[in-house]
Amino acid sequence: MIRILLTNDDGIHSKALQALAVALAPLAEVTVVAPQHEQSGVGHAFSYYSTLRFGKAAEYPCEAYWLKGTPSDCTKFAICEILKDRTPDLVISGINAGENAGVAVVYSGTVAGAREAALWNIPAIALSAQESHAHVLEKCIAWVVGIVNQGLWKPMPKGTYWTVNFPAVPNADYKGMQICAMSTVMFIDEYLKVVNPRKQEEYWLTGFKNRPEFPEGTDDWWLAQGYATLTPLQVDQTATQELKRLKELDEVIHVRA
């Protein structure tokens, strides 16, 4: 039986994480290691100057633990400590409440939970849903069960991982899945100033993506059309075109620091 590690960034009490564990428990040896508290938007932060604590979580049909740390902490600690003698075959991070398409993969704790696994050459999938409606989560879970049953994750090359997003559309409007590239359209960010009860000014970040800017055929674009998206990502972030240009620009290496 294959071993699957589940994590997320919404925390150990996420109903979506619990539903995913219930669905996969009959198919695999499932272990859950998830943050004690919500860790949305922490990116690939991990604990280096602080210690970690963990404990058992009782609300799962499998071995499950909460960890006082980030999603990447959860994956790293599970691989290096909790599961050090039984390395997972597959890591699944999610199901996130909210999409992680386009540049959101840079900020996402959910995606970082999968990326951390890819750093250890373990196949990984980050799962996200635009909204946590029951019918959206059901589609997401059904897709994952199919992927696991058919072993479609097994040929994933080392150092790669998938980010998968499901749209918040009625069943009748769901159009299937598209395999596509990542959009690089940046958020339009704004900081809203508020005054707290102590009369101090504070700022809340708010933002959105401008749909008309989505490049056709990218994950942002397909998701806006009512399709689920699967985008393969990789650990190697080398800008190959710039690498080639710099190698041809011999003067750069002779500039004195």
**For residue 34, what are its two tokens?**
């998830």
Rounded to the nearest 5°, which phi and psi values hold at 14?
Answer: -60, 125
Q: CA 236, CA 244: separation in Å to the nearest integer?
A: 16
Q: CA 92, CA 228: separation in Å to the nearest integer?
A: 17
CB atoms within 10 A of CB 168: 16
- Collapsing DSSP states into helix, strand and coil, what is residue 45? coil
Q: What is the mean pLDDT of residues 148-167?
A: 97
pLDDT of residue 249: 85
Answer yes or no: is pLDDT of 257 > 70.
no
Q: What is the mean pLDDT of residues 34-61?
A: 95
pLDDT of residue 251: 73
**238-256 residue pLDDT tens:** 999 999 998 888 777 776 6
pLDDT of residue 247: 87
pLDDT, mean over the chain: 95
pLDDT of residue 148: 98
Domains (ranges, CATH) in the chain? Answer: 3-184+214-254 (3.40.1210.10)
pLDDT of residue 248: 86
Q: Is 224 exposed, middle or buried (0-12, 13-18, 19+ CB in 10 A)?
A: middle
What percent of the chain clears pLDDT 90, i.e. is strictly above it?
95
Q: CA 89, CA 153: separation in Å to the nearest integer?
A: 10
pLDDT of residue 114: 98
What percent of the chain clears pLDDT 70, i.e. is strictly above it?
98
159: left (phi over 0), alpha (psi -120 to 50) or beta: left
Single-letter amino acid code for the residue at 243: L
167-12-15 Cα angle (round to 5):
45
